Amino acid sequence: IEPDADDIKITKSESLKETLEEALHVQEVELIPTGDGDPIIGPREQWNDGSNTLTIRPGVVVTYDRNFVSNQLLRDKGIKVLEIKGSELVRGRGGPRCMSQPIYREDI
């Protein structure tokens, strides 16, 4: 979705990777699969909010500690991973990113 002359322009895309590269004006975006794409570990860590990470600054994220494979994969990519327990937080079916909000917002 983007502004057009008198309306908005909606473009359908089949590729998240290509859409992100275009929107961010970058050559390459690397998508990191939950559970390293393993057919057993991936869905389990996805259920446990393995992809629900909160970026607190470039290269630093907050995640649940129970997603061992996903967290290690992030570390292997050079990302500092700050783990939280979350045994009580997860009852609401959300992760660190879902349970955050900006403390400062610019006017639109």
**pLDDT score at 90:** 67
The one catalytic residue among 84, 98, 99, 100: 98
pTM for this prediction: 0.75
pLDDT digits (tens, 9 = 90+) for 72-106: 999 999 999 999 887 766 676 777 777 777 777 78
- CA pair distance 65, 48, nearest whole angstrom: 10
Which letter, b or e, does each residue of 71-107 get, where b requires 16 or more Cβ atoms within 10 Å of its Cβ? Answer: bebbeeeebebeeeebeebeeeeebbeeeeeeeeeee
**pLDDT score at 78:** 96
pLDDT digits (tens, 9 = 90+) for 60-75: 999 999 999 999 999 9
Question: For residue 9, is pLDDT > 80?
Answer: yes
The verdict on whether 29 is a catalytic residue reads: no
